[in-house]
């Protein structure tokens, strides 16, 4: 069983969000969460998804924790914490184990195979965040999702290994641990977002999830229910705002407001003479801007973002294996015209992923059901399904006696003051 209370902490480039839920069951008896409370604040001390200023981020997290605790009416003692940033790297690795038992593959065999897959040499400056079984092979039979009990002689796992720099992991962990909050697990943000916005059918068929936030774009490619590729790109909505600010010679805040209010990715749909207004600090009056010009600036950068997503997924070698297309989420997926633009660039089905459809959370507040909260909501679901995941991703099954997880946990604990 998961814990009774699950907390998610999403430290984004533009906002920090804490969500708290209580584990319960739905009317069909399936595990679910009852939403208890949340806290959201504007980020500070984060650049491109990475902690740049530990005291600032620690203070900001403290504020949101307090808001969420007050609303939920409890003390938060542990949390699932999202991690992203371009320091994230992934690699695939194989591990092998003999199948000893007369009864077929056992948990111990799977453990051994995964341990073998983990035996990749990492530089001193890197730590493993996840080791996820993508698929299993028993003798000649490959593409197996759950090998438990299968008979054969040789078990092989194809694993996806996610690593991050020790420094980035360390800094983020410290900002949470400083509040006396244990880290249940550091979760790669695209994996969390995937939990919140993808359907089981999409994961089975093959799909790309792109969470376009403020400072990063998080990619994950799923197929056959497994994770095939993940990547965190150093670009997001802030780049669009910066371009608008440069193009209009206006401050970032003004450009952000214009983007949120009037932003559109199809300039041809905007009347040539449509003007919009904003007050520029220092100016006596409002200034007018051409909405079509703003739209042209946004379109150019959004096209580039989509092209990079496409290039990166093609470079992964699996970009052609996604009949379910691409699901966009994150705050920047809310720009008008994003579906039309990305369909044109990708040439495949595109939809916007909302963390509200089919999520196992009762009473989730409406304003949290927006794409910007995909990661936060996904972290809660990740925590809820920790046990269920053991069936699909055997690593979590083996977590408790897993040396590397103990090492990471111990090392995180050592960071606690005193
Ligand atoms: N309605 C909207 N239209 C256009 N852009 C939007 C809208 N709402 C939010 N955004 C943009 O989304 C971005 C923030 O998205 P999100 O909250 O997902 O990012 P984050 O989680 O804080 O950052 P990251 O995940 O990149 O570290 C900002 O650039 C913001 O301008
Ligand atoms: Mg985010």
Q: Which atom of ligand 1 is nearest to the CA of 216?
A: 26
User: Hey, which CATH number is domain 89-164, 3.80.30.20, 3.40.50.720, 3.30.2350.10, 3.30.1490.110?
Assistant: 3.30.1490.110
Distance between Cα 157 and ligand 2 center (Å): 31
pLDDT of residue 387: 58
pLDDT of residue 1: 62
Q: Whole-angstrom distance between the N-terminal and C-terminal Cα of the chain?
A: 32
Q: Kindly state if the Cβ of 378 falls inside 6 Å of ligand 1.
A: no
Which ligand lies nearest to the CA atom of residue 244 in the structure? 1
Pairing of strands 326-329, 350-352: parallel
Q: Which atom of ligand 1 is nearest to the CA of 240?
A: 29
Q: Kindly state if the Cβ of 13 falls inside 6 Å of ligand 1.
A: yes
Q: How far, in Å, CA of 221 to CA of 313, rounded?
A: 8
Q: Kindly state if the Cβ of 14 falls inside 6 Å of ligand 1.
A: yes
Q: Kindly state if the Cβ of 82 falls inside 6 Å of ligand 1.
A: no
Sign of the C-alpha dihedral computed for residues 126, 128, 129 and 131 taken in this order: positive
CB burial string 357-395: b at 16+ within 10 A, e below: eebbbeebeeebbbbbbbbbbbbbbbbbbbeebeebbbb
Q: Kindly state if the Cβ of 260 falls inside 6 Å of ligand 1.
A: yes
Give the mutation target among 16, 258, 332, 354 for probing the ligand 1 site: most ligand atoms within 8 A of CB: 332
Radius of gyration of the chain (CA): 22
Q: Which atom of ligand 1 is nearest to the CA of 375?
A: 21
Q: Between 252-262 and 237-248, two packed helices, what is the crossing angle to 10 degrees?
A: 110
Q: Which atom of ligand 1 is nearest to the CA of 371?
A: 18
Domain ranges of the chain: 89-164, 202-355
pLDDT of residue 226: 83
- Taking residue 314's Cβ as centre, other Cβ atoms within 10 Å add up to 11
Write the CA distances from 356 to 22, 204, 240, 303, 362, integer angstroms: 17, 20, 26, 27, 10
Sign of the C-alpha dihedral computed for residues 308, 311, 314 and 320 taken in this order: positive
Q: Kindly state if the Cβ of 244 falls inside 6 Å of ligand 1.
A: no
CATH of span 202-355: 3.30.420.40
Sign of the C-alpha dihedral computed for residues 285, 289, 291 and 294 taken in this order: negative
Q: Kindly state if the Cβ of 226 falls inside 6 Å of ligand 1.
A: no
CB within 8 Å of 193: residues ≥ 6 apart: 209, 211, 218, 220, 329, 330, 353, 374, 375, 378
Per-residue confidence in pLDDT tens, the chain, 418 aa = 668 999 999 999 999 999 999 999 999 999 999 999 999 999 999 999 999 999 999 999 999 999 999 999 999 999 999 999 999 999 899 999 999 878 899 988 998 999 899 988 889 899 999 988 888 999 999 989 889 999 999 999 999 999 999 999 999 999 999 999 999 999 999 999 999 999 999 999 999 999 999 999 999 999 988 888 999 999 999 999 999 999 999 999 999 999 999 999 999 999 999 999 988 777 777 889 999 999 999 999 999 999 999 999 999 999 999 999 999 999 999 999 999 999 999 999 999 999 998 899 999 999 999 999 999 999 999 999 875 443 333 333 333 334 444 544 444 444 433 3
Nearest to 40 by CA among 62, 15, 20, 21: 15
Give the strand order in the sheet containing 350-352.
Answer: 226-233, 217-223, 207-212, 326-329, 350-352
What phi-psi label fits residue 85: left (phi over 0), alpha (psi between -120 and 50 degrees) or beta?
Answer: left
Q: Kindly state if the Cβ of 215 falls inside 6 Å of ligand 1.
A: yes
């Amino acid at each position: 069983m998961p814990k009774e209370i699950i907390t998610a902490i999403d430290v984004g480039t533009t906002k920090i969000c804490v969500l708290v839920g209580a584990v319960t069951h739905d009317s069909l008896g399936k595990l679910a969460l009852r939403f208890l409370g949340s806290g959201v604040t504007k980020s500070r001390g984060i650049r491109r998804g990475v902690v740049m200023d530990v005291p600032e981020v620690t203070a900001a997290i403290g504020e949101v924790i307090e808001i969420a605790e007050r609303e939920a009416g409890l003390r938060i003692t542990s949390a699932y914490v999202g991690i992203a940033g371009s320091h994230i790297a992934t690699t695939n690795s194989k591990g092998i184990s003999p199948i000893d038992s007369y009864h077929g593959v056992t948990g111990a065999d799977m453990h051994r195979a995964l341990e073998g897959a983990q035996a990749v040499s990492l530089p001193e400056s890197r730590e493993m965040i996840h080791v996820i079984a993508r698929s299993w092979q028993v003798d000649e039979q490959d593409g197996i999702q759950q090998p438990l009990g299968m008979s054969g002689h040789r078990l092989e796992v194809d694993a996806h290994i996610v690593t991050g720099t020790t420094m980035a992991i360390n800094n983020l962990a410290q900002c949470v641990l400083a509040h006396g909050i244990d880290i249940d697990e550091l979760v790669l943000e695209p994996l969390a977002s995937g939990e919140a916005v993808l359907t089981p059918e999409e994961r089975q068929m093959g799909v790309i999830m792109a969470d376009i936030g403020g400072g990063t774009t998080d990619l994950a490619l799923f197929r056959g229910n497994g994770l095939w590729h993940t990547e965190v790109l150093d670009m997001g909505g802030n780049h669009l705002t910066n371009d608008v600010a440069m193009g209009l010679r206006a401050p970032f805040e003004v450009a952000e407001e214009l983007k949120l209010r009037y932003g559109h990715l199809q300039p041809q749909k905007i009347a040539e003479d449509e003007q919009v207004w904003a007050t520029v600090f220092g100016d006596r009056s409002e200034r007018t801007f051409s909405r079509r010009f703003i739209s042209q600036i946004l379109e150019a950068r959004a096209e580039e973002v989509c092209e990079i997503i496409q290039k990166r997924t093609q470079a992964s070698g699996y970009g052609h294996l996604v009949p379910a297309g691409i699901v966009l989420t994150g705050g920047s997926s809310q720009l008008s015209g994003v579906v039309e633009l990305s369909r044109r660039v990708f040439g495949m089905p595109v939809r916007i992923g909302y963390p509200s459809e089919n999520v196992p959370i009762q009473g989730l507040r409406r304003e949290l059901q927006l794409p910007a909260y995909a990661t936060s909501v996904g972290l809660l679901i990740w925590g809820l399904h920790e046990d269920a995941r053991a069936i699909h991703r055997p690593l979590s099954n083996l977590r408790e006696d897993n040396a590397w997880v103990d090492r990471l946990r111990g090392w995180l604990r050592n960071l606690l003051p005193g």
